[in-house]
Structure 1
Amino acid sequence: MSRLLILSAGTILALASVAFAAPAMQPLKISKECSQYTGDTPSFCTITESNLAAIPSGTKILYYGPVTGSPYFGSSTAVIAVANGDSALGYCVTYDTASPPFGTCAFHAGSGTLAGFQAIVKVTVDDKQIWHWDGGYLLGAAK
């Protein structure tokens, strides 16, 4: 009897884990330049390359703080503002005095063609001062 109970419990747990499995994320690679970033609220960077058609080159990433002007780190609400009015909302934290600088951004909401946008990316900067986001995304209805 206990063997049947253990087997039944194992089957239920296995089915539950399948039912709650997260969908597979797609690769996300974005490069941006920040020559017009001032530290004011909002400040922005401009995307120069993106592997996601819904976020094309020329798209602005607006940073609203609370920490946008520190020489040591950034901690900010971030909005990906596509020219046609579509957008995505997230949060970024960067360690700007690290050698090399690095950080993380996570996005949890979007509108228009970015409805349901969720992403998490590693942030790095190269020696030409081009910032790179490398990670994964989901696009579609958020659950």
Structure 2
Amino acid sequence: MSRLFILSAGAALALAQAAPAAPAAPETRPLKIAKECSQFTGDTPSFCTITESNLEAIPAGSKILYYGPVVANPLFSSSTAVIAVGNGDSALGYCVVYDTAKPPFGTCAFHAGSGTLAGFQAIVKVTVDDKQIWHWDGDYVLGTTQAAK
């Protein structure tokens, strides 16, 4: 029995040593975006306009387009979201917002980008202030997200 245990332990150790190391998590940076949604209609797509951003690749004036499937529900929204900067520079993600909470809150996660936003990944907390300015606060990575081997 002990011989079987030693063989099994040896095989497990050999497999563990042969397995490639998991890539290191990419280093994130803080992301802060403010947007106003006075032109949001509930149609598909609807949009909000970024008024402030700490990320140069997503300047003020950029649009966030919401494609649904749920953008006009009175309780919550659940939508594919595209940050459209222009000239092929964009990021793709998904947002879920509990619109009728007091105050409203939610989360957005972005997983892909193109142009200057290639490799963009982010996760943000969504809140709204008393002036109806929506805020995204979270972390992002931009560019390659795979650790060098």
Q: Give your verdict on TM over 0.5.
A: yes
For Structure 1 versus Structure 2, the TM-score category normalised by the shorter chain is: 0.7 to 0.9
Give the whole-Å Cα distance in 2 for the aligned partners of 1:21 and 1:102.
31
Could you tell me which amino acid in structure 2 is paired with residue 115 of structure 1? A
Matched, 1:135 2:138: yes
> What secondary structure, in the 3-state scheme, does the structure 1 residue paired with 2:86 have?
coil
Letter in 1 for 2:88: G
Whichever residue aligns with residue 45 of structure 2, its letter is: P
The separation in 2 between residues aligned to 1:35 and 1:22, in whole angstroms, is 38
Which of residues 63, 67, 71 is equivalent to 1:64?
67
> If the length of structure 2 is used for normalisation, what is the TM-score?
0.84
1:43 to partner: Cα distance: 0.1
Of 4, 21, 30, which aligns to 1:27?
Answer: 30
Aligned length: 140
SS of 1:141 mapped into structure 2: coil
What 5-or-longer segments of structure 2 have no aligned partner? Answer: 1-5
Scaled by the length of structure 1, what TM-score is found? 0.87
Shift of 1:23: 1.2
What percentage of residue pairs aligned between the two structures are identical?
79
1:83 is the counterpart of 2:86: yes
Q: 1:20 to 1:142 in 2, by over 3 A?
A: closer
Unpaired segments of 5 or more residues in structure 1? Answer: none
Quote the RMSD (CA, aligned, Å).
2.4
**Cα distance in 1 between the residues matched to 2:60 and 2:111:** 21
